[in-house]
Structure 1
């Protein structure tokens, strides 16, 4: 078989760099809290999250279907479908196990037998739907007719009669062509590469497959003598195929695909399908000089548009990178502030120590000018144990009953209360030269496991921006944990002290009993001695008088 023509360049350096940068940026998800918020926005049910969380799934990979999926020379799973699969797995927290070398038909059979969980690249059909479940299609490509550039004009399937037409064996396009065009002689090829090489060397007159596969094959093999001549009425929807006994996995994958940003989808498509659809273009139909003029003008316009697009893409990427860097910096700053406050609580030995340490560190970070820390004493009473900026407060702090006032209501409802411009509350903050009225009051319940442990009251002279709200949201669970740990330590200390007191009481009683026992023994000894004397006297008195 003659060797194919030499490879040709695949696009400009600018386009390759921009596409690579877009792909890397799109596939890098935001970490930490931002990622949690993104997952929450998917709308998964608790049952779906429980099913997918940390699950390892086996995916069937057709090792020879680039650009959709293949296994490269290093054994890595790659391609357009691979990028979609990894994006969905990253969003849902799935662990992927690659099972290579499974064409669609064998993959469906293995999934039906329970040996495969997901098929990342499959075209839904009614027959396959009896064996597996399908997600909504995540990408669609038309089937196209490929001919040699010097071959006669082909505008559609009606122009293929009498020609040698190649298709890949076992794919959906062969199935629909044999059903709808039974008189069309089809020659089967084992894969797209073999079919395109046969067409390039004249063994076939036309080849039919989806646009993505043939575009990638033409560029990769450098077959400059081939062109996309026309579209067919058939399209290829690509979806994820899922085992029928895993409907929760199917619905979770559907939501993950639906939540993918358009920028990420476009970046994946540009990365793997760089060749544009040229169906219907036939420059031979134009006069040579007119073709040259049109080509020149089109090239100039396209280059200008390309340069503008590169600039816009670069600016967009830079803006997204700056935004991403700002998010990372904000998250690092927030974690550092939480760690700073947490470290200050480690030395606390009483609730007052804990409250004063927390208010002293957290209030400045939150921008609060005044604070009160109430803890729940027993089931019904909240006791203030520490204040921040308390000098100049006009009321006298005292215990608050559960449900009484804003503090008690916040504790009872277990929900925050916020007041803007609380003019009716007699609170004035000392400033050294006078007093100031707060513009915002916030009452936050300190909760752990659906149980209220106390209430944190904060007063602000200015606004309470979102980044400080995020910091407060991170600080409250940490504060509740420290409060519970301290309560446990205090209860342990109380029990130990009670045990020591009981031990001391027991020792005192034992000493008293020992003294009583000693005194009883001394009394018995004296009684015995006295009894002996009496007995001796009785003997002497009973003896007859001495006859001398």
Structure 2
């Protein structure tokens, strides 16, 4: 079914989706919040295609956000009705619909100064680094290296607003959506693009753009919030409570479903995971799969010999970048990199568990 035909369709989150593990947690609601739910049992929302976070495909709305809000629906009794804006590719149209109060909320996006003028925020409930993508033959791993190069960004996106406001000297090519930005880089119209790490890694893999790579991560962490009409403070407070109450195991299951690089156990197989005080193993695959060793000088070897095991701390709940699972295993993209480093340096590293990033 064509995306343009979706205008007459809607999806209730209380339908199909990723199964939660056990009953949803209970949340305490005020009398005003309960009255809001009784008066507004169906909440309208929209989003643009932002895969894998927001997926519009074959007439249905799915993705990471869908599965999060399916749990919110079970906790609150609210139903969430998807109302596409145009062909669901231009996020600027989604923002305009919220600003004009034609929808009640946007399920997930970033917080910016401009959006604070007309929206309330619930969350954050996810966080991703902002990544730089370039072709294999281009070095563009930092904002400094983007100077003098054309950089593609999706119209209306948080990435666009961040770069526009904080790096006004960059030469921006504003395109319709993240997929168009990836294609612009692959075809040579732009030398790089900037977008949420989860979105670009998913997009590169899905599109088969083998000449593209994630060439760097910016120092900007994109926190994901729900945006709510500024005349619905009760809805914002309900979502704040519900999103904060989603169990970590449900979050992990959702991320594993939509981001294969985050699948439980994958980091272990590739050499990235370790339980507390357990050595990180090297990649599987025998001699052919082993990484080349780094040659150290005598002083470096003596230092490592004296030092013994290197202890490290991580953010225990920052998927897909890194997390510690319920069994104490360290997983994620950084875990995979650490696994390669330990094999190449031939060192013993041990996780020192912490309850939180702070």
Aligned to 1:360: none
Describe the shift of the 1:56–1:123 C-alpha distance in structure 2 as closer, same or farther (beyond 3 A).
same
Contact 1:219 1:275 in 2 (8 A): no
Aligned to 1:239: 225
Q: Distance in 1 between matches of 2:151 and 2:185?
A: 9
Aligned to 1:432: none
Describe the shift of the 1:170–1:153 C-alpha distance in structure 2 as closer, same or farther (beyond 3 A).
same
Superposed displacement of residue 298, structure 1 = 5.6
Aligned to 1:189: 175
1:174 to 130, 141, 160: 160
Aligned to 1:147: 134
Query: Bigger relative contact order, structure 1 or 2, given CA contacts below 8 A and separation 6+?
Result: 2
Aligned to 1:67: 52
1:121 paired with 2:114, answer no
After TM superposition, the score normalised by the length of structure 2 is: 0.64
Partner SS for 1:77? strand
Q: Distance in 1 between matches of 2:215 and 2:82?
A: 36
After TM superposition, the score normalised by the length of structure 1 is: 0.43
The CA deviation string for residues 225-260 of structure 1, in whole angstroms up to 9 with x for no partner, is 211111112222211111122111111111111110
Contact 1:104 1:122 in 2 (8 A): no
Superposed displacement of residue 204, structure 1 = 2.4
For structure 2, the residue ranges without an aligned partner over 5 or more in a row are: 1-16, 263-284, 293-323, 329-358
Superposed displacement of residue 293, structure 1 = 9.3
Contact 1:168 1:188 in 2 (8 A): yes
1:86 paired with 2:70, answer yes
After superposition, the CA RMSD in angstroms is 2.8
Superposed displacement of residue 29, structure 1 = 4.9
1:52 to 20, 37, 45: 37
The CA deviation string for residues 481-514 of structure 1, in whole angstroms up to 9 with x for no partner, is xxxxxxxxxxxxxxxxxxxxxxxxxxxxxxxxxx
Contact 1:136 1:239 in 2 (8 A): yes
Aligned to 1:464: none
Superposed displacement of residue 139, structure 1 = 0.6
Describe the shift of the 1:161–1:254 C-alpha distance in structure 2 as closer, same or farther (beyond 3 A).
same
Describe the shift of the 1:295–1:258 C-alpha distance in structure 2 as closer, same or farther (beyond 3 A).
farther
Q: Distance in 2 between matches of 1:182 and 1:266?
A: 37
Q: Distance in 2 between matches of 1:250 and 1:295?
A: 53
1:199 paired with 2:189, answer no
Superposed displacement of residue 172, structure 1 = 2.3
For structure 1, the residue ranges without an aligned partner over 5 or more in a row are: 1-22, 277-291, 300-308, 314-548
Aligned to 1:157: 143
Q: Distance in 1 between matches of 2:94 and 2:151?
A: 27
Greater displacement, 127-136 / 254-263: 127-136
Q: Distance in 1 between matches of 2:218 and 2:258?
A: 22
Aligned to 2:289: 296
Aligned to 1:208: 194
Describe the shift of the 1:262–1:294 C-alpha distance in structure 2 as closer, same or farther (beyond 3 A).
farther
Q: Distance in 2 between matches of 1:267 and 1:187?
A: 36
The CA deviation string for residues 61-117 of structure 1, in whole angstroms up to 9 with x for no partner, is 21x2211113211x1111111212222122111122210126443333333433211
Contact 2:182 2:193 in 1 (8 A): yes
Partner SS for 2:198? helix
Structure with higher helix content: 1
Aligned to 2:246: 260
